Every structure is written in structure tokens, then in C-alpha cells.
Amino acid sequence: MFLSVRSYNFRNLVNERLSTEAKNIYLIGENGQGKSNFLELIYLLCFGGSFRTRQDELLITQGKDNMMVEGTFLDRNSQQNTISCKLEKERKEIRQNGKIVADRKDLIENIPCIVFKHEDIYFVNGSPERRRLFFNQVMGIYDIPFLEKLREYSKILRMRNAVLKEKKLDFLPVLDRQLAASGLELVERRKSVTEEFSPLFSQVFKEVSGSDMTIKLRYQPSWGEAESLEAVTALLAEKQERDLETGMTNWGPHRDRFCFYMSNKDFSKIASTGQSRLITLAMRNAQAVFYTAKTGRHPIFLIDDVLLELDRGKRERFIATLPEYDQAFFTYLPGEQLFTGRGSERCYAVEGGALNEYQAGR
């Protein structure tokens, strides 16, 4: 749980320290006031990056040339920790309890954080890449070796693509073997995770949507049935001509697909807007349940504008079916707030980047 945060020149937020010592924090304000900015600040302290942009310089208040954010949180042993992130002249410095954090992945086990955001809708109706990203997140928050594998695979893929572009055929056999070996580990991990995740997701979807529709999730590896080093290298050799033509690798875990099915039909093609949103909420809830099952820990939720497409009953159901969490931050437009009734709460009115606490009347 975050006990307090402080920001200096972060987006439009007013520079000050804020207490966040409550299980539920509600941020209520009109459009463009700084609600999502505040969630972004929390996320930055959890993972050392933003969930909205890769361009760190956008985080610095316009007209300034540096920014700093800092948060104090209780870790799983109830010890207080301070984490800070400083940006100056394209240099980012993250510190935990004063010590520099060299690799962002070292932060991951600190504060498991799950964001529910508007763009999650693309997990349902966007490109296959979006769904891969979701599953990378599902695994990434508890399985650091998986993240390392992903990095390794991407590195080999970049090398193979460069070789394909330059038509250096002699290098291909070695790279094919490396790509196959590294990729097969990813496929193996994805297979076992979807096997566990899919029934969980189907169940959570029923709870969140209040319907008895069975939506199943299926994993379709781009290498298909090829599951051994020999089979994959043979496949890569067989498809080499096309790869050379296009100057890139057209098959592999970077092209894997995850699909939602209802009675064997691709559900994402027929889902209504509200149903698509319910799928994304179920995906995030299932991510949390899955994480807790794997680690015994509860995540922090950042819930940003994801209830807008839903009718009142569905919104209330979503709030009621949220899995166990350590702390949750909710953003609401004025008059739209829903309280969880679970543990301590604080309400902040957000206006022009300033957060002012008030007593919520129900």
C-alpha cells in the first residue's frame, strides 16, 4: 500500500505531498484535471515507466526541464520503503531507499500493479499484438524469467530480421536454431498459462457480466503443431523464401494469437461495445486472481475510466466482483462515483492538477 506520494513538475500535478493511506482512493474531477496523471504517477513508482507513453519527456511539466516523483509504500513485510523517479535531460534515475535501481525489472516484485484503462478495449477488438501484450503483462508481473526470455527472443529476432534484410544467408541456420530454442520456451510458457487462465477467465467473465455466456480463450501459436527444435527449424527453413522477400520473420511467438470464442465463433467480431468492455474487465480481474494464485499476494489496482460504457447495474456488479486487492485508486467524473464499501476510503476532488480531500456524502 502507498502511504504517501510527492511530485515535482510531474505533468499538470501541483507540487506537493499527498497522503494516500487508505485502501480505496477515489479521484473525482471533470475532464482534463489530472486524475489519470495521478494514476500514471503511481504506476511510474511501481514499474519505472508510464502506462500511457514511452516518451518520458512528456511526463515533465511543460516549460520545465526536470521532474521528480516519490512514494512511500509498505512492502509485503510491512516495512516502509521509499521509491523515487527523477527525470532530467533525458536521464532517468530510479532509487529505492536511496539506492539506484539499475534495471526496471528489479522493481516488478515490489508493488504488483494492475491498470484498468480505456485502451484495454483493444485487447478485444484490436490487433493480435494487443492480446499478446496483455498476456505478456499477465506473466510479466510475477514471472521475471519469462520477461528475460521475451527480451532474449526479441534480440534474436532483431538479428534474424537484419540478416534477412541484408540477405546474409550463411547466418540463417545458426539464428534459426537460436530463434527456435528461445521461441519454444515462450510457446511452452504461454501454453501452460493459457490452460490455467482460460477457465479462470470464463468463470470471472460470468461473474462480472452476470450472464451465463461461456467465453473461452484459445492460444494459437504461430508455429502451429511444430513443437520440437527440429520441427521449428525445418519450418523456418521451409518459409525462408517468404521471409527473404519481406525482409522479416513472418512466423514465431511474435505472431502468436490469442482469441476469444463463444460456441466456436470469434467473439471479438460480434461483441457489442459493452460486452467488449466486460471482456476487458474480466481479463483484468482474472489477471489479479491469477497473480494472487501464483504468489499469494494482492495487487494494487488503478481503475481509470473503464465503466463509462456500462449501465448502472453492470458498473455496480463490477465494483462488487473486484478480486481482493491491497489498495485501489479509482477515477470518476463528478456524480459518477461508486464506492466499494471495502475498507478505508479517501476522496479527492481533482481540479487543475490539485487534489483536495473532502468527506464524501453518500
Ligand X SMILES: Nc1ncnc2c1ncn2[C@@H]1O[C@H](COP(=O)(O)OP(=O)(O)OP(=O)(O)O)[C@@H](O)[C@H]1O
* Binding of residue 62 to ligand X (CB under 6 A): yes
Residue 247 half-sphere exposure, CB side, CA atoms within 13 Å?
3
The entry of Mg ion, ligand X, none near residue 34 (CB within 5 to 8 angstroms by kind) is ligand X
C-beta of 36: minimal distance to Mg ion in Å? Answer: 3
C-beta of 141: minimal distance to ligand X in Å? Answer: 24
C-beta of 70: minimal distance to ligand X in Å? Answer: 18
The entry of Mg ion, ligand X, none near residue 293 (CB within 5 to 8 angstroms by kind) is none
Chain-centroid distance, C-alpha 2: 19
Q: Which is nearer to ligand X, 46 or 60 (CB)?
A: 60
Q: Binders of ligand X: how many residues, by CB under 6 A?
A: 17
C-beta of 111: minimal distance to ligand X in Å? Answer: 20
- Segment near ligand X (CB under 6 A); pick from 53-61, 126-134, 190-198, 273-281: 53-61
Smallest CA-to-CA distance from 56 within 93, 27, 98, 18 is with 93
Q: How far apart are CA 98 and CA 298, in angstroms?
A: 26
* Binding of residue 33 to Mg ion (CB under 5 A): no
Q: How far apart are CA 69 and CA 94, in angstroms?
A: 10
Q: Which is nearer to Mg ion, 30 or 324 (CB)?
A: 30
Q: Which of 9, 36, 233, 249 binds Mg ion (CB under 5 A)?
A: 36
Please report, as residue ranges, which positions from 12 to 51 form the binding site for ligand X (by CB under 6 A).
Answer: 12, 29, 31-37
Q: Which residue is nearest to Mg ion (CB)?
A: 36
Q: How far apart are the first and last CA of the chain?
A: 25
Smallest CA-to-CA distance from 260 within 306, 194, 317, 321 is with 194
The entry of Mg ion, ligand X, none near residue 11 (CB within 5 to 8 angstroms by kind) is ligand X
The entry of ligand X, Mg ion, none near residue 12 (CB within 5 to 8 angstroms by kind) is ligand X
C-beta of 357: minimal distance to ligand X in Å? Answer: 17
Torsion 272-273-276-281 (CA) sign:
negative
The entry of ligand X, Mg ion, none near residue 52 (CB within 5 to 8 angstroms by kind) is none
Within 10 angstroms of residue 89's Cβ, the number of other Cβ atoms is 7
Q: Which is nearer to ligand X, 20 or 331 (CB)?
A: 331
Q: Which is nearer to ligand X, 32 or 247 (CB)?
A: 32
* Binding of residue 11 to ligand X (CB under 6 A): yes
Please report, as residue ranges, which positions from 272 to 311 form the binding site for Mg ion (by CB under 5 A).
Answer: none
The entry of ligand X, Mg ion, none near residue 32 (CB within 5 to 8 angstroms by kind) is ligand X
Contacts with ligand X by CB under 6 A lie at: 11-12, 29, 31-37, 58, 60-62, 305, 331, 350
